């Protein structure tokens, strides 16, 4: 069936100059397409430099980070010096500071000693009780 059709088609005579006319038409279309693109470019010259959206996001992110770092740095460097009483040394004389520090440490040591002293007392009582108990047990033996 196909062979028959091809044969029939081959038998149809091709009009004279059809090939030239078709080529001419294709060239015309190509030319008009080029002109169309050119006119669009002249209307919007920036469109030719368009970057993909992801590149814009990256650039925006980096720019935002830089602005954030410099902004924070600038903000903190230009802060007026606030006086925080708690962060300042109460004493400016090391000798006075030493006296106060030692007083505090001695107070801590004294209280620890007080507690440890009671522990020693309890230990001594416990040892004495143990000794008495052992003595009595030995007598009973």
Partner 1 sequence: MRQIVFKTIFVLAVAMMSLQANAQVKEFEKYADIKNVTYVFISKYMLRLAGKASAPSVPGVNTQSIMNKLTGIQIITSEEKTAAARLKADTQTFVKAGKYELLMQVDDDEDKVRIYHREGKQQSAVVMLSDDAGEVSVIVFSGTFTLEDVMKMTE
Identify which of residues 37 and 83 has a Cβ nearer to partner 1 in the complex.
Answer: 83
Question: Per-residue x/- marks for partner 1, 10-49, CB under 8 A?
Answer: ----------------------------------------
Residues whose CB is less than 8 angstroms from the CB of residue 90 and which lie 6 or more positions away in sequence, other chains included = 97, 100
Please work out the total of residues on this chain that contact partner 1, with binding judged by CB under 8 A: 38
DSSP 31: H
Q: Is 104 in the site for partner 1 (CB under 8 A)?
A: yes
DSSP for 79-102 reads S-----GGGS-S-SSHHHHHHHHH
- SS3 state at 92: coil
Q: Does 122 bind partner 1 (CB under 8 A)?
A: no
Is the Cβ of residue 19 or residue 100 nearer to partner 1 in the bound state? 100
């Amino acid at each position: 069936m196909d062979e028959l059709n091809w044969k029939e088609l081959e038998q149809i005579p091709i009009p004279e100059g059809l090939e030239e006319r078709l080529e001419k038409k294709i060239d015309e279309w190509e030319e008009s397409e080029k002109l169309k693109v050119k006119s669009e470019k002249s209307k919007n010259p920036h469109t030719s430099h368009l970057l993909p959206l992801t590149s814009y996001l990256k650039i925006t992110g980096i720019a935002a980070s830089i602005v954030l770092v410099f902004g924070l740095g600038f903000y903190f460097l230009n802060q007026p010096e606030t006086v925080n009483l708690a962060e300042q040394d109460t004493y400016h004389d090391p000798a006075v500071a030493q006296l106060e520090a030692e007083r505090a440490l001695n107070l801590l040591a004294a209280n620890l000693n007080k507690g440890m002293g009671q522990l020693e007392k309890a230990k001594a009582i416990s040892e004495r009780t143990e000794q008495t108990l052992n003595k009595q047990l030995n007598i009973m033996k």
